[in-house]
Amino acid sequence: MRRAAAALGARVLPISTLRLLSMDAGVALDAALACPIVVFTSPAAVRFARMQRPLVDSPAQVWLAVGSGTATALRLAGIAAVRMPPDRADSEGLLALPELQSLRGQAVGLVTAPGGRGLIGETLAHRGARVHLAEVYRREPLVPRASRTGLIAALPDSSALLVSSVEAFDALWSRLGEPVRQTLRRRPVVASSPRLAARLAEDAFAAIVIADGAAPQALLSALAADVAGGRFR
């Protein structure tokens, strides 16, 4: 993130609000990886799955990724043909793929974490798929360091908030006092998906920019385009 931001002439104040921990998926992961269609919801899902089982490429299987970061992680793991949404890196984009439309009786492996992208599993089941869920990691909230959150109030007017997930936002927002919240509401905020944008609107953010995904480059590119369009200086 720092390097990509520097290339655009920006600086970053990183605030970690979540920690990822491995979950032993065992036979559930075996079942998911054996399905003719296998869906991974994040680069972390690929990483934690690989810690437990090898990912074996097979021409008889279809491997789907929610976005470019997840697709890259799968390719690095040895999966040659990975399909992903062409336009948006979120649950809705994934669910629009043609491979996930006619699923009655079809077995679909879903490698993910608890919470997060629950819409995917629910929609696949509604479409008639036999969903084999493998939860390979979980998110644990971190208390942001006071030294970090204290810097937010001192940020210059030409600053923006980049948000990768609802969980990350909630973990930060719950630790901020109302004066700091009001300061952030006056700044542009970049959301990784339309659903996250709707969540931010509920908290009275007005200048919301929607990125193509949660990857740092996607968030920064969305902000850069907004700046170039003259909405934010």
- Per-residue pLDDT reduced to its tens digit, 165-199: 888 899 889 888 898 899 899 999 999 888 899 99
Domain final residue, candidates 85, 108, 139: 139
72: tokens are 């890259």
Total number of domains in the chain: 2
70 and 42: one domain?
yes
Kindly indicate the confidence band of residue 145, based on its pLDDT and cuts at 50, 70 and 90.
Answer: confident
CATH number for the domain that contains residue 60: 3.40.50.10090
205 vs 161: CA distance, rounded Å? 11
> What's residue 233's pLDDT?
52
220: tokens are 């920064």
69 and 174: one domain?
no
Whole domain around residue 170: which residue ranges? 2-17+142-228
Q: What percent of the chain is predicted at pLDDT more than 70?
A: 95
103 and 146: one domain?
no
Q: How far are the Cα atoms of 35, 99, 185 from residue 201, in angstroms, in the given order?
A: 38, 32, 10
134 and 146: one domain?
no
* 52 falls within a domain: yes
109 and 161: one domain?
no
The alpha carbon dihedral of 114, 117, 119, 120 has a sign of negative
123 and 160: one domain?
no
To the question of pTM greater than 0.85 for the whole model, the response is no
132 and 147: one domain?
no
* 233 falls within a domain: no
Kindly indicate the confidence band of residue 152, based on its pLDDT and cuts at 50, 70 and 90.
Answer: confident
How many alpha carbons lie under 13 Å from residue 2 in its C-beta half-sphere?
Answer: 3
Radius of gyration, CA atoms only, the chain: 19
Q: Which DSSP state fits 131?
A: E
67 vs 69: CA distance, rounded Å? 6
133 and 146: one domain?
no
Q: Comparing 7-11, 122-126, 147-151, which segment has the lowest mean pLDDT?
A: 7-11
Kindly indicate the confidence band of residue 231, based on its pLDDT and cuts at 50, 70 and 90.
Answer: low
> What's residue 162's pLDDT?
94
